[in-house]
Amino acid sequence: MRKRIFALFLASLLAIVAFGFIGCSDETNDSSNGANNVGTESANEEGYNGPSTSDEVEPYSLEETLEIPEHIIIRGTRYSTSLTELDLSGWQLIRPLTDDELEPLRYMVNLTELLLHNNAISDISPLAGLTNLTMLGLENNQINDISPLAALTNLTNLYLNNNPFSDISPLAGLTNLTSVGLNDNQINDISSLAGLTSLTILGIQRNQISDISALAELTNLTVLFMGFNPIDDISVVFELTNLENLGLHYLSISDEEMVKLTAALPNTEILR
Residues 154-168: tens digit of each pLDDT: 999 999 999 999 999
For residue 134, pLDDT beyond 60: yes
Identify the structural domains of the chain with CATH numbers, from first to last. 1-12+24-43+54-182+201-209 (3.80.10)
pLDDT of residue 8: 53
Q: What is the pTM of this model?
A: 0.80
Can you give the three-state secondary structure of the chain, one letter per residue?
CHHHHHHHHHHHHHHHHHCCCCCCCCCCCCCCCCCCCCCEEECCCCCCCCCECCCCCCCCCCCCCCCCCCEEEECCEEEECCCCEEECCHHHCCCCCCHHHHHHHHHCCCCCEEECCCCCCCCCHHHCCCCCCCEEECCCCCCCCCHHHHHCCCCCEEECCCCCCCCCHHHCCCCCCCEEECCCCCCCCCHHHCCCCCCCEEECCCCCCCCCHHHHHCCCCCEEECCCCCCCCCHHHHHCCCCCEEECCCCCCCHHHHHHHHHHCCCCEEEC
Decide: 80 and 70 in contact? Cβ < 8 Å: yes
pLDDT of residue 50: 54
Average pLDDT rounded to a whole number, residues 52-71: 63
Task: Let me know how long the chain is.
Answer: 272
Nearest to 70 by CA among 57, 82, 55: 82
Q: Which of 49-63, 90-104, 203-217, 258-272 has the lowest mean pLDDT?
A: 49-63
The band of 38, judged by pLDDT with boundaries at 50, 70 and 90, is: very low
pLDDT of residue 92: 80
Q: What's the rounded Cα separation, in Å, for the pair 38 and 27?
A: 20
pLDDT of residue 91: 83
Give the end-to-end CA distance of the chain in Å, rounded to a whole number.
27
> Is the model more confident about 20 or about 255?
255
- Cβ of 13: how many Cβ atoms within 10 Å? 23
For residue 3, pLDDT beyond 80: no
The band of 62, judged by pLDDT with boundaries at 50, 70 and 90, is: very low
**pLDDT tens for each residue of 176-225:** 999 999 999 999 999 999 999 999 999 999 999 999 999 999 999 999 99
pLDDT of residue 60: 45
Decide: 204 and 190 in contact? Cβ < 8 Å: yes
